[in-house]
Amino acid sequence: MKASFYVLAILIIAGAGYFTYEHSRKFEELQKIRLETIETNKGEDANAQATVAVLKKELAILASAEQKKVELTQSVSTLKAAGATLEREVAELDNTIKGQDDEFAELEKTMKEVQEILKGLGDGITIENLPEKIQAVTDDKKQKDLKMEELNTLVGTAEKRLATNRADLDRQVKHDLQRNTNIHHNSQEAVISSVNQDWGFVVIGAGSNTGFTPQTTLLIKRDGRVIGRMQPSSIEPGQTIGEIDFKTLAPGVRIQPGDRVILEKPITR
């Protein structure tokens, strides 16, 4: 019985030792695995930290790249705007150059015309000495203008004198015409067309057109001899009615149709 107990005890002790050994072996394996895992984790952690560092660095580079991208985008936009402005300026310059080319062509044409004109002005005249020639011509023109003003003044004075002389001549001509008219009237005879002995008036076939006025005295003629006088009482342009001055008639003389009358006093106007 004791032997069985010892055997059992030995078996138990052996089993316990085996389990203890097995457990120790497994513990060592686990410890080894744990240590390896720790070492692995340390390596992985180091790798992770290195990776994080690299990521941070890459993120910094990416952020910098993004900032540069923004800056480059803004720069590109600015450059595009500047390029558009430059294109407009270039277009304007092209237009300006084209306009200048047209102006140069027109100027060249004008220069040729000026040269042709200069040829017509005579030898020795060039564009270089043209201002001097123009000044000389201007001075000459001023002198001629002064002479022209003097001539105009003289002409004006002469015209005034001529106008005065013409006025005097017109007055003299009018006076001569009037005088000749008066002389003609003084020498003109009018014929008595009818006689009213009862009322003492006669009708003469001439009037104011002949120069008769109410103030004039008419001489009555017969056969070239004065036989009496009469005074106009009613005068029309072509007819005069006159009153006979019987005191001037010779005794027995009667005025008859056909007798003639003339002005007693010549017109002196």
pLDDT digits (tens, 9 = 90+) for 88-131: 888 888 788 888 788 878 877 877 777 677 666 666 666 676 67
Q: What does the longest C-alpha to C-alpha distance in the chain come to?
A: 245
Is residue 40 predicted with pLDDT exceeding 50?
yes
Average pLDDT over residues 232-255: 91
What's the mean pLDDT when you consider all of the chain? 77
pLDDT score at 177: 47
The answer to whether the beta carbons of residues 261 and 192 sit under 8 Å apart is yes
The residue ranking higher by pLDDT, 179 or 171, is: 171
pTM of the model: 0.32
Domain residue ranges of the chain, discontinuous segments joined by +? 15-123, 128-187, 190-263
CATH architecture label of 190-263: Beta Barrel (2.40)
Residue 185's identity, in one-letter code, is H
Calculate Rg over the CA atoms of the chain: 76
Is residue 164 predicted with pLDDT exceeding 90?
no
Q: What percent of the chain has pLDDT over 70?
A: 76
